[in-house]
Amino acid sequence: MRLSIRLLVLIISVMTCISGMMQMLNPGFVLNFIGAEITPASSHFFGIVGMFMTLFGGLMIHALYSVHPNRVAVFWCALQKLGAFVAVGLGIINEVFSMIAAGVAFFDLFSGLLFLYYLKTLKSGETA
């Protein structure tokens, strides 16, 4: 069971890195996909969000393969995912994003909760 959770966390983290890089390099594509207005400002700020997605995805991958447990990194990566759920949800409520973005929001919610569950399975003396 623990191996499958770890594998799922790894897959989500890799997907976060890849989607973050895509968002960073081509924010207009992602903005169009979620039904948001594409302006120079929205593209710029969405690219910044993509950079942080890439960084947090990489941080979780690093934590998974670290020799020493890194419970703090796992905790903050979980908070990033839960924060993304709230941010995208607010974007939908405020009609910045279309309802298609709800899939993204709920994936982030699932990911954040899974990361917290994974954190709970880590013992303080065990490697991530």
Domain ranges of the chain: 2-121
Reported as a pLDDT band with limits 50, 70 and 90, residue 10 is very high
> What percent of the chain has pLDDT above 90?
85
pTM of the model: 0.89
Amino acid present at 119: L
Three-class SS of residue 91? helix
- Sign for the CA dihedral angle at 6, 7, 8, 11 comes to positive
Query: Is the confidence at residue 128, as pLDDT, over 70?
Result: no
Amino acid present at 100: I
Contacts of 108 (CB under 8 A, 6+ apart): 81, 82, 84, 85, 88
Q: How many CB atoms lie within 10 A of CB 117?
A: 12
pLDDT at 68: 82
pLDDT at 73: 97
